[in-house]
Amino acid sequence: MAPGGNRGWLLRLVIAFGFAQGAVSMARPAVSYRALALGADERAIGVIAGVYALLPLFAAVPLGRRTDHGRCAPLLPVGVVLISGGCALSGIAGSLWTMALWSGVMGLGHLCFVIGAQSLVARQSAPHEQDRNFGHFTIGASLGQLVGPVAAGALIGGSDMATSSALALLVAGAGGAVALTSLWRIERPGAPKSRGERGERVPVRGILRARGVPAGIIISLAVLSATDILTAYLPVVGEHRGIDPAVIGVLLSLRAAATIACRLVLTPLLRLLGRTVLLTVTCLLAGLLCAGVALPVPVWALALILAVLGFCLGVGQPLSMTTVVQAAPADARSTALALRLTGNRLGQVAAPAAAGLIAGVAGVAAPFVMLGALLFLSAGVALRAPSGPAQDRPSARRSTRARPRRRTTR
């Protein structure tokens, strides 16, 4: 399918992503509550949340290399199967270490799905459509993040927290499997490129040196770490402040609803402010609001903080995807997106582990102050990020014109 063609594939992809992300977003707080019921403390919660990202940390780049050669279609159903299996098996796990293991399987499935889906969007979108299409694509994630926590909150509760959280995980596995119905013929898989057609493989170091790729990775890492720790640690905050799990589910879904609202108006916001200003301002505001979660405010004020925070966090993911795609060499865009996801998973390993240590020493609200500092750093990086495709920048045009001259002087 040519870039800019029929967008039925994008709608089906958004629906599939909504179900897959909904399963993960339902499972993540359910895993935390089930681990608490099995005797976990704050540090153990951090370790389990970190294991979710550990397997994907090592698998992202090889999967990205594979999708650079037109093999992203199989990753989508494989990802759904791993997500659903990880959710269901977490529900029947009887120990913390088995919960951590199946949490890792769930994370690997999410990585497979996201790499395949992002590569599909990058390949089938014209350059001027990428901000919009990545924004629409991530609406699927936000829909899942909206529904998942509410469903988890509705099922989890009562005196037998272990049983109710296990039920939520089994329901999450079943819901995730529904994503398979939207993946039917989402892409006509062509023949993979032969070795002769692939050309020379771009080294990872060369991709990371492309101006804009490191900025996109850092921004994405900060934004996803904020979303991830909110999902994993807001239930712990609720336990300490006496907030009911159902209310925590509503608060997490409110954050996701605000993110959806942001992505629906992303195109006019880009026209008004431009990518650099929009990224910088939203990262700064998100840093302040994350620190605000640490304050002992009433539930209505916490809801307001999370709504504005969700709106600000909605900008970083789609625009960091476009930043990376437009900065990377044309033959290594999927690998560049995979490196971005590697950064995400590195953050998901390190941030919850650090949050667990900080929470154990300074209290459960302290990790949100750490997130605020990380988002301030990403705001500074966003100021230096390029705002257009690499081939449209003056330096790129000069270097392109210079190559023939160097060859004629030899």
Residues 167, 171, 173, 174: is their CA dihedral positive or negative? positive
Q: Which residue has the tokens 């989890």?
A: 156
For residue 159, tell me if it sits in a domain. Answer: yes
Tell me if 255 is assigned to some domain: yes
What's the mean per-residue pLDDT of the chain?
79
- Residue whose C-alpha is closest to residue 338's, from 247, 227, 245, 202: 202
The pLDDT tens digits of the residues spanning 195-246 come to 444 456 677 777 777 777 888 888 888 888 888 778 777 887 787 888 888 8
Fill in the DSSP letter of residue 185.
Answer: T
Residues above pLDDT 70, as percent of the chain:
83
Query: Using one digit for the tens of pLDDT, what is the confidence trace for 293-338?
Result: 878 888 899 899 999 999 998 888 888 888 888 777 777 777 888 8
CA torsion through residues 176, 179, 180, 181, sign: positive
Q: Is 13 helix (H, G, I), strand (E, B) or coil?
A: helix
Contact assessment for residue 20 and residue 79, using Cβ atoms and an 8 Å cutoff: yes
Q: How long is the chain? A: 410
Each residue's pLDDT tens digit, 182-209: 887 665 444 444 444 445 667 777 777 7
The CATH number of whichever domain residue 279 belongs to comes to 1.20.1250.20
Q: Does 289 reside within a domain? A: yes
CB-neighbour burial class of residue 403 (10 A; exposed 0-12, middle 13-18, buried 19+) = exposed
Q: Is the per-residue pLDDT at 24 higher than 70?
A: yes
Residue position matching structure tokens 């712990």? 236
Closest CA to 66 of 345, 344, 336, 334: 334
Query: Is residue 1 assigned to a domain?
Result: no
Is 297 contained in some domain?
yes
Q: Does residue 407 form part of some domain?
A: no
Could you tell me the residue range of the domain that residue 70 belongs to? 8-185+207-393
Domain assignment present for residue 259? The answer is yes
Instruction: Establish if 410 belongs to a structural domain.
Output: no
Q: How confident is the model at residue 65 (pLDDT cuts 50, 70, 90)?
A: confident
Q: What is the pLDDT of residues 70-97, one digit of tens each?
A: 555 578 889 999 999 999 998 888 788 8
Encoded tokens for 5: 């063609």
Angle 198-325-378 (CA atoms, 0-180°, nearest 5)?
A: 140
pTM for the model stands at 0.72
Q: How many domains does the chain have?
A: 1
Residue 136's SS3 state is: helix
Helix H, strand E, coil C: the string for 341-362 is HHHHHHHHHHHHHHHHHHHHHH
CA nearest neighbour of 312 among 215, 373, 222:
222
Q: How far apart are CA 306 and CA 65, in angstroms?
A: 37
> What is the DSSP-derived secondary structure letter of residue 1?
-
Alpha helices per DSSP H over 156-212: 161-177, 195-198, 204-209
